[in-house]
Amino acid sequence: MKKDLLTLFICLFTFCSCDHTYEYTYEVTNESDSEVKIDLKASRFDSSYLVGTNDTKILFVKEHGVEAQNGPYFKDVSYDLDEFIVTKSNTLVSKKDYLDNSSWNYNDGWYRATITNEEFE
């Protein structure tokens, strides 16, 4: 009987203490009238991306480590992004602040942003 209770306790403890990790994806869609360049700095890398007109590109996927179950959970984009600069036609720099959460749509671990002509005016 004691052995059965101990086995049950170990099983319940193991089941209830599962660690959860979730992936967070950053994606942009370029709806402007020309190709754009994105210069991105994150905590562990710096990269540049070219995104063509009417193209969608996944910039990076990041794991946030061990989190509680029922995630993924929204986190401020500044948690993942240190710098995010969008340039069009090699000279026009976007006036949109991509380090602000309002520049991104978040849904179930996906951060999506849309680049438009209006942000370069």
Window from 6-15, 22-31, 33-42, 51-60 with minimum mean pLDDT: 6-15
Percent of the chain residues topping a pLDDT of 90: 59
Q: For residue range 105-119, list pLDDT tens digits in order.
A: 999 889 999 999 999
Asked if 64 contacts 75 with a C-beta cutoff of 8 angstroms, the reply is: yes
Enter the pTM of the model. 0.77
Q: In what order do the strands lie in the sheet with 110-115?
A: 55-67, 20-30, 110-115, 105-107
Q: 113 — phi, psi (to 5°)?
A: -130, 150
Please compute the mean of the pLDDT values over residues 52-76 and round it to a whole number. 79
Amino acid at 85: I
Domain ranges across the chain: 20-120
b (16+ CB within 10 A) / e for 82-111: eebebbbeeebebebebeeeebbeeeebbb
Token pair of 38 as six digits = 């994105």
Nearest C-alpha neighbor of 27 from the set 108, 90, 87, 118? 108
What is the arithmetic mean of pLDDT over 39-43?
Answer: 91
- Domain 20-120 is in which class? mainly beta
Residue 16: pLDDT band (50, 70, 90) is very low
Q: What is the mean pLDDT of the chain?
A: 84
3-state secondary structure of 11: helix
